[in-house]
Amino acid sequence: MPADPADIGPAITPAKIEGWESSTIHTRYPNARDGSTDPSEGFYDAAANADTAVAGRATLIGTERRRFGVQVQDLIWPSPTSGLLNVTLVDPDQAVNDPGISTRIEVDLDAEATQFEVMI
């Protein structure tokens, strides 16, 4: 099957590899996986778009976050159409009184409980 002209241009365009690293994170976590053996893949029409994507990813993974498992002794059914569930986690034992988002929700119907994974 012959290639369409629209397919030939992107196929012969040279690749540009973008990267990002944080010396602060690397110093604090020297054994952390750096992503060089299995980099995140993305395809963009312009280098500026790739730079924007890399900067966004750096904002997400370059910020230190704390993760908590929170057990609620009640059934909570958040609506998936509402987006991520924003919470304020208060735990004096962990010295936490901060806003966060729930990144995982597990409803246990037998125990009538809900387990949240909260990122602060």
Integer Cα distance of 99 and 97 in angstroms: 7
Decide if 68 contacts 89 (C-beta within 8 A). yes
Of the candidates 21, 48, 23, the residue with the CA atom closest to the CA atom of residue 35: 21
In this predicted model, what pLDDT tens digit does every residue of 42-93 receive, in sequence order? 888 788 888 898 888 888 877 888 999 999 889 988 888 888 788 999 999 9
Which residues, 6+ apart, have CB-to-CB distance to 77 below 8 Å?
Answer: 107
CB-based contact 56:42 (threshold 8 Å): no
C-alpha to C-alpha distance for 13 and 16, rounded to whole angstroms: 9
pTM for the whole thing?
0.56
